[in-house]
Amino acid sequence: MKCGGGYFGAVCANDKYSSYSWWNDFLRNENWYNPGLLRECAKNINDLSTNEVFDCLTKNTNTIDKIMNQIKRRTKHDKKVDNQYNSIDTDWP
């Protein structure tokens, strides 16, 4: 589960070292989705924690639709999830 570990590792490193460069390294290594979606959802949706976002990344979460559904299951703010998806960089694979 490279994508999940990378995301959570970047969150932990950023918290510990307060260095934005961790996100730059993480974004450079993105794979099938833009990891900024996970970061922005955890940061901007008040009833969604980093833990809950990390829990969305399962072995069966392998498409954008699935990750969006997983995130929406964990918040009451589906529209905010959609807004985060639409507001991040348009470099989706």
pLDDT for 25 beyond 60: no
User: Sorting pLDDT into bands at 50, 70 and 90, what band is 6?
Assistant: low
What would the two tokens of residue 15 be?
């918290």
In the block, residue with structure tokens 């070292």? 17
What does the alpha-carbon distance between residue 91 and residue 6 come to, in Å, rounded to a whole number? Answer: 18
Quote the tokens at residue 58: 């399962």
Tell me what pLDDT residue 1 has. 36
Work out how many domains the chain is built from and give that number: 1
Is 92 among the domain residues?
no
Write the pLDDT tens digit of every residue in 31-41.
Answer: 556 778 888 89
CB–CB of 48/79 below 8 Å? no
Question: What pLDDT was estimated at residue 58?
Answer: 84
Residue (of 45, 39, 55) closest to 88 by Cα position: 39
Q: What is the pLDDT of residues 35-91, one digit of tens each?
A: 788 888 999 999 999 899 989 888 888 788 888 999 999 999 999 999 998 887 655
Structural domain boundaries, residue 21:
2-87
Query: Do residues 10 and 26 touch, judged by C-beta distance below 8 A?
Result: yes
pLDDT at residue 77 in the model: 95
Calculate mean pLDDT across residues 9-20.
Answer: 66
Is 54 inside any structural domain? yes
